[in-house]
Structure formats: structure tokens, C-alpha cells
Structure 1
Amino acid sequence: MNDDHRFPEPGTTDEELADSLLEEELRQAAAVLDPVPDTLLQVALDAYVLHDLDARIAELTFDSLVDALPVRGMPDTPRMLTFSAGEVTVDVEVTEDGLIGQVLPPQSARIEVLGGPRTALPVAVDTLGRFTSDTPPAGPFALRLRTGTEVIVTEWLRA
């Protein structure tokens, strides 16, 4: 089907044309009755723009919300996350006060906290691979790790 929905392509069957018209009517109805919120659309666009084509994706290998057993008497325990990309591991603790983490093996790196419509928030990494951020993530977030030779981006998670 061409981009101009007013004129079907040659060889289009009546059934395909009816399906196309129905799809267009449903799109218009959804746009009127249940439009995508502007903020959600902006977050999606910003997430796409922040995508690094040459970056390796760090896979989430541990999430305390899913993988850990609850501890009695500890209602507000911090969320622990572990991401892995090849030989590089990033451990992160998410608290109400921000992020605390470490890159393993320890190496010089730059980390940026990505979070929707905000710009990337740079975070300093010390010689032991440790980092902290005093700004807690709000909503979806990811980490971008830049080492001397590569860029690694974690999966996006909701804080």
C-alpha cells in the first residue's frame, strides 16, 4: 500500500482495500477517543534519539524486585540491579536518594543516566569503578557507559 491512502495501488483486492479503510477509520477513532499523551510521545522520541547505534546492550541479569526473596521487617529495601555486557558488569542500587553503583572490572569510564525528556545526567566514576548520583531516576531510565573503546547501554527500566 502506498503512503497516500486515497489511491490504492494497482492490483489491490477489494478485501485488502476494505481492510485498509477499516484500519484508517480505527486509527482516526483512536486519535480522537484515546490520543497518545504528548509527554509519552516525547519520551518515546527522546528514547529513540538517545539510542546509540554502535552501543552494546547490557542485559539485565538480576533485579531484586523479581529475583530476590523478600526480607521480613525490611519494607523499603533499595532495588538492586545487575547488568552484563560481555566481560563488563554494572551493579546498581536504586534508592529514594539516587543511584550507587560499580563497574566491574574496575576501569575508567563515564556514565550517563538517561531518563526520558531530560538530557543525560553525567555521573563521575572513580578508579575503582564506583559511581553515585544524588538524583533519583523518575520514570523510565537507562545507563550509558562509555569506556575508552566502547559504548554500553543498559536496558530501560522503570524506577
Structure 2
Amino acid sequence: MNDDELRREAAPDDDGYADTLLEEELRLAAAVLDPVPAELLQSALDAYALHDLDARLAELTFDSLVDALPVRGGTDAPRMLTFRAGEVTVDVEVTADGLIGQVLPPQPARIEVLGGPRAPRPVAADTLGRFTSDTRPAGPFALRLRAGAEVIVTEWLRA
């Protein structure tokens, strides 16, 4: 048997399978030989956050990693984040088990946890504005809040 016959026997009949394998090999080679610069990746993530052109950007006003006073003996404390867009405030606690948060003033909302190219994970906020997500964000993430006709997107952060 020659090489062509071996390839035909090993792979399914459709060319899509071979194309998928070739594409994966090319992606791996590009990641090793020509990785995407960190600055370009951050710019792309920032641009993705603004794909809702009517969305308001919620500014990070508090991050416990930067703003909180260190506590002696405290380890593995949850990360506390506060975002503000006009009159709307979103408080978020990032724990090992996921996210816990509240929208103020209290209102029902749909919150999507954005994680780069992955599909957003929607979470519902109740009438008091409380929400939880049992999936901890990995890598860069942002939140998109939809309350009525208003859309608010937070800054991108690393989990």
C-alpha cells in the first residue's frame, strides 16, 4: 500500500475530517511559532466588549485585589468588584464556586458572563437585583447586564 491508500483507509470518506485535522495542526504551529502579542489580545477583548454599540461601559470603581487593606492571616478571600455606570452599580464577589452579585438599584435583569470567544453564560437577577453563577470565570471575563432596554457592559478583568 502506498501513502495515499493508507490515508484514505485511516480517514473517513469526507474531506471535512482531513481539513479539520490540517486546520488544527496549523493553529498549533501558529501558536508556537507566531503567538498573538498580549497587547493585541487585550485590544481584541476590549473591542469585543463594545459589540453592543448602544451599551454603556461600567467602570471598575473597586477591586479588592488593589483597593482593599490586607488582612493578617486571611487567605483565599473572595475577590470583591464594584462596577458603576451612571446610577447603576453592580457588586460582584468572585469565589472558588462562581459569582455572587447584586444590581443596585434593585431590579430584575439578565446578566451574561462573557469569557472571550466562548458563548456567554446567562444568569438571571431577581427583583432585588441578586444573581449567582455556579461557574467561576477562567481567564479574562466581563459582565453584560440587560435591564429593560438598557445594556451595560463591564470592563474586562482576569479572574
User: Do the two structures share a fold, i.e. TM-score over 0.5?
Assistant: yes
- Count how many residue pairs are aligned between Structure 1 and Structure 2: 127
Q: 1:134 to 1:102 in 2, by over 3 A?
A: same
Where does 1:40-51 land on structure 2 (aligned, <5 Å)?
A: 48-49=47-48, 51=51
In the alignment, the residues of structure 2 paired with residue 148 and residue 34 of structure 1 have an alpha-carbon distance, to the nearest angstrom, of 47
Q: Which residue in 2 is equivalent to 1:126? A: 126
Unaligned runs of 5+ in 1: 1-30
In the alignment, the residues of structure 1 paired with residue 145 and residue 40 of structure 2 have an alpha-carbon distance, to the nearest angstrom, of 25
Which secondary structure state, in structure 1, belongs to the residue aligned with residue 66 of structure 2?
helix
- The structure richer in helix per residue is 2
Which secondary structure state, in structure 1, belongs to the residue aligned with residue 65 of structure 2?
helix
Q: Which residue in 2 is equivalent to 1:36? A: 35
Note the C-alpha offset of 1:43: 8.6
Q: Which residue in 2 is equivalent to 1:19? A: none
If the length of structure 1 is used for normalisation, what is the TM-score?
A: 0.72
Note the C-alpha offset of 1:48: 3.8
State, as a whole percentage, how many aligned pairs show the same letter: 77
Query: CA-atom RMSD, angstroms?
Result: 2.6
In the alignment, the residues of structure 2 paired with residue 69 and residue 132 of structure 1 have an alpha-carbon distance, to the nearest angstrom, of 26
Contact 1:145 1:153 in 2 (8 A): yes
In the alignment, the residues of structure 1 paired with residue 137 and residue 86 of structure 2 have an alpha-carbon distance, to the nearest angstrom, of 26
Q: 1:119 to 1:44 in 2, by over 3 A?
A: farther
Q: Which residue in 2 is equivalent to 1:14? A: none
Contact 1:43 1:117 in 2 (8 A): no
Q: 1:152 to 1:136 in 2, by over 3 A?
A: same
If the length of structure 2 is used for normalisation, what is the TM-score?
A: 0.72
In the alignment, the residues of structure 2 paired with residue 128 and residue 48 of structure 1 have an alpha-carbon distance, to the nearest angstrom, of 31
In the alignment, the residues of structure 2 paired with residue 89 and residue 96 of structure 1 have an alpha-carbon distance, to the nearest angstrom, of 23
Unaligned runs of 5+ in 2: 1-29
Note the C-alpha offset of 1:36: 2.4
Divergent runs of 4+, >4 A: 40-47
Q: Which residue in 2 is equivalent to 1:145? A: 145
Which secondary structure state, in structure 1, belongs to the residue aligned with residue 99 of structure 2?
strand
